[in-house]
Structure 1
Amino acid sequence: MAASELSVRVVILSLTTIGFLGNFLLVYHYLFLYLARHRLRSTDWVLMHLIVANILTVLFKGVPHTMAAFGLTDFLNDIGCKLVSSFHRISRGVCIGSTCFLSVFQAIIISPRDYRCSELKINSHKYIRYSVYLNWAINFLIITVNLMYVRAKSGNDNTTNLKSYLYCHSVRHDQTSDILYAVLLSAPDILFLGLMLWASGSMVITLHKHKQRMQQMPRANISSRSSPESRATKTILLLVITFVSFYTISSACQFLGALMYTPSSSLVHVTAMASLFFPTVCPFLLMSSDSSISSHFLPSKMNRYFPKVSDRELN
C-alpha cells in the first residue's frame, strides 16, 4: 500500500469519526437543554438545524467514502446510491442555508437601532424560523432531479455512459441537460453565498464603527472585556469564514470533476475531504466559543483552567 493511499484513508476516517462524535455531543447538549426546559435562543434553534445537516453530511458522505477508500466500492445498489447522494445534497444545502441565516440574523441584531431596522429586528426570529423550514423544503424539491443522474453500476452497463465516483456513478446526459442541472443545484448556493458576504461585510463594518466609538470614550468607561454581541458576532464570522473556505475548495473540485470525462480518484478524495472539513470543525468552534457548552462536558474543576468566552451570549 502506498503511503499516499494510507494517508488518504487515515484522514477520511479521522474526519468522519471526529465529525460524528463532535456533532453528537452538541445534539446531546441541546437535547439536555430542551428536556430541562431551558429557554433556547433563536441562534440555538438555527444551530440545531446546522448540526443535523453536519451529521447527515458525515453519515451520507463520510461513511460511504470511508468504506470506498478501504476498498469496498460496490456495497450500494441503485436505490442506495440515489439515497446516499440525495441526502448528501440536502445536507449540503441545509448547511449553507443555516450558516447564511446565522450570519444574516446576527447582522440584523447588531445593526444600528434606527426606525428602518426596528420592525425587522422584532420579527427577525419569526423570519429566521420560516426561512430554515423553507430551505429544507427547497432542497428536497431540487434533489428530486438528482435521482435521474445518480445510480449504481451493474454488470451489463456500458461504462462510456457512466462517470465513476468510487462507490456510485453519475449518468452522462447531453450537454444542455448537464448545464441546466448544474445551474439548478448552484443557484440557491450562489444566493446564500451572496447573502453571507453581505451579512459578513455588514458585521465587520458595524464592529469597526463600534470599536471607533469605544476608542473615543474615556478609559474609565471602557470595559476590559468586549461586549457579548461583539463576541457572538466574531464567532459567527469565524464560522462563515471557515465554511466559505472549505465550501470553495469543495465546489472547485466538484466543478473540475464535472468537466473531466473520468474524474481521478485523487480528485474524488480531495472533494470528499473538503466536504467533511466544515462538519468536523464546526462543533468544536461552537464549543470553544460558548462556555455553557464546554462547561456541560468538562468537570467543574477543569473549567477553571479554560477562560470563558461567552455565557449563553449568542442572541
Structure 2
Amino acid sequence: MTINEKIMNVIFFSQTGIGVLGNSFLTCLFIFTHLSGHSKRPIDTILIQLTLVNCLVLLPKGIPQIMATLGLKNFLDDFGCKIVFYLQRVSRGLSLTMTCLLSVFQAITITPPSFSSVELKVRAPKYIIPSSLCSWTFHLLLNVFIALGMKGPRHPGNITEIQHFEYCSYPSAPKYQAILLSIIFSFPDAVYMGLMAFASGYMVFLLYRHHKQVQQIHISSISARTSPEIRATQTILLLVSTFVSIYSLNSIFTAYMHFRKTSLWLTQTSAFLTLSFPAVSPYLLISNDSQVSRYCYALCWRKRPHSGLAAD
C-alpha cells in the first residue's frame, strides 16, 4: 500500500466513522425526545430523516471506498455493485430532497404573519410526512434504472467503452444518449436546487430585514436576544450553504467523469466530497441549533435523580 492509499484510507475511515457516530447520536436523540413526550418542532421530522439519509450515504459509499483503498478491488460482483450503487444514488437524491424540504419549510415558518401566510403556516406541518413519503418513493423508483446498468469490476468488454469506479464499472453510453440521460436525471436535482436557492434567498432577506428592525430598537434587553426561530433559520442556512457548496463541486467532478476518462484522483475526490456533508452536518446541528442542545441537556439530566427537569 502506497502512502497516498494510506492517507486516503484514513480520510475515508474518519469521515465514515465520525459521520455515522454523529448521525446515529442525533437519530437516537430525536427518537428519545419523541418517546419521552417532550415537545418537538415539526421540523424535527425532517431532521430525523436527514440523519437517517446521512447514514445511508456514509455506509454504502464509505465502506466500499475504504475497502478499495486497502487494495481490495474485486470484492463486489455484478449484483453487489447494483445494490451498492443503487443505495448511493437513492441516498444522494434523498439528501438533496430533505435539505430542500428543510429550507422551504423553515422559510414558511418565519414568514411574517398575514392572512395567507397564517393559513399556510397551519397547513405546512401536515404536508411534511406526505411530502417525505413521495420523496422516498420517487427516488427509490427513479434510481432502479440507473442501478441496473452497473457491473462488477471484472465486467468483460472493450476497456474504452467502460467507466471504472474502483470497485464497480459502468458501460459507457453513446455521447448523445449520455447527454440526454444526464438532462433527464438532472432535472429533478435542478428543481430541488432552484427551490432551495429561492427559499434560502427569501430567508436571508427576512433575516436582513429583522436585523435592520432590531437596530432601530434601542432597548438593549430586546436587541441582545435572538429568538429561537431566528437561530434555527441561521442554522438551516448554514446547513444549506454547506450542502450547496459541496454538492455543486461534486456535480462538476461527476459530470467531468461521465464525459471524460475517469482517473483514480477524480474518483477519490468525488467520494470525499460525497461523504463530507453527511459527516459534518450532525455536528453543525449540535453546535448551532439551540433546540438540539436543549434535547441533549434533557437527555443528560434525565438520568440524574431530582434534576428538576419536570418543573421546566
Fold match, TM over 0.5?
yes
Partner of 1:287: 286
CA distance in 1, matches of 2:101, 2:110: 14
Equivalence for 1:121: 121
CA distance in 2, matches of 1:232, 1:34: 19
| SS class of match (1:226) | coil
Matching residue of 1:205: 205
Partner residue of 2:76? Answer: 76
Give me the TM-score of the superposition, normalised by structure 1. Answer: 0.89
What's the secondary structure of 1:225's corresponding residue?
coil
Structure 2 counterparts to residues 4-83 of structure 1, below 5 A: 4-83=4-83
- The corresponding residue for 1:228 is 228
Distance 1:77 1:208, change over 3 A: same
Greater Cα shift, 125-134 or 2-11 = 2-11
Asked if structure 2 preserves the Cα contact closer than 8 Å seen for 1:288 and 1:294, the reply is no
Separation in 2 of the partners of 1:173 and 1:226?
Answer: 54
Kept in 1, the 8 Å contact 2:107–2:202? The answer is yes
Shift of 1:155: 6.2
1:127-177, CA deviations, whole angstroms, 9 ceiling, x for partnerless residues? 222221111111112102113321113364443332100000011122233
Could you tell me how far apart the structure 2 residues matched to 1:52 and 1:81 are? 22
Q: Unaligned regions of 5+ residues in structure 1, if any?
A: 301-315
**In 2: Cα distance, 1:18 partner to 1:296 partner:** 23
After superposition, the Cα gap between the structure-2 partners of 1:43 and 1:177, relative to the gap in structure 1 and judged at 3 Å, is same
Render the CA deviation track for 1:43-67: whole Å, top value 9, x for unaligned: 1100111111100101111111111
CA deviation profile, 1:24-61 (whole Å, cap 9, x unmatched): 11122122223323343211100111111100101111
Q: Distance in 2 between matches of 1:219 and 1:38?
A: 33
Q: How does 1:101-120 map to 2 (within 5 A)?
A: 101-120=101-120
- Distance 1:293-1:193 versus aligned 2 partners, 3 A rule: same
Task: Indicate the residue corresponding to 2:95 in structure 1.
Answer: 95
- 1:246 offset after TM fit, Å? 0.9
1:74 corresponds to which letter in structure 2?
A: N
Partner SS state of residue 163, structure 1: strand
Local SS of the residue matching 2:170:
strand
Assess, with a 3 A threshold, how the Cα gap between structure 1 residues 267 and 140 changes in structure 2: closer, same or farther.
same
User: For residues 155 and 80 of structure 1, do their structure 2 counterparts lie closer, same or farther at Cα, with a shift above 3 Å needed?
Assistant: closer
- Residues 292-307 of structure 1: pairs in structure 2 closer than 5 A: 292-295=294-297
Distance 1:221 1:117 in 2: 29
d(CA) in 1 for partners of 2:213 and 2:269?
A: 45
One-letter code aligned to 2:173: H
CA contact (8 A) 1:152 1:169 kept: yes
Q: Does 1:275 align with 2:277?
A: no
* Aligned partner letter, 1:202: Y
Instruction: Say which SS state the counterpart of residue 143 (structure 2) adopts.
Output: helix
SS at structure 2 position matched to 1:287: helix
Q: Percent identity?
A: 38
Tell me how far apart the structure 1 counterparts of residues 280 and 267 of structure 2 sit (CA, whole Å).
21
> In 1, are the aligned partners of 2:23 and 2:282 still within 8 Å (CA)?
yes
- CA distance in 2 between counterparts of 1:177 and 1:38 reads 53
CA contact under 8 A between 1:287 and 1:293: conserved in structure 2? no
* Residue aligning to 1:245: 245
Structure 2, unmatched stretches of 5+, are 303-312
Q: What letter corresponds to residue 297 of structure 2 in structure 1?
A: S
**Cα distance 1:297–1:7, how it changes in 2: closer, same or farther (>3 A)?**
farther
User: What is the RMSD computed on CA atoms of the aligned residues?
Assistant: 1.8
Cα deviation, residue 297, structure 1: 6.8
TM-score by length of 2: 0.90
- Aligned pair in 2 of structure 1 residues 149, 267: CA closer, same or farther (>3 Å)? same
Kept after mapping to 2: 8 A contact 1:61/1:88: yes
Shift of the alpha carbon at 1:185? 2.2
Deviation of 1:5 after TM superposition, in Å, equals 2.9
Work out the CA distance in 2 between the residues paired with 1:30 and 1:294. 10
Contact 1:15-1:280 at 8 Å conserved across structures: yes
Instruction: Mark the CA change 1:35 to 1:294 in structure 2 (over 3 Å): closer, same or farther.
Output: closer
- Paired with 2:69 and 2:35, the residues of 1 have a C-alpha distance of 39
* Alignment partner, residue 254 of structure 2: 254
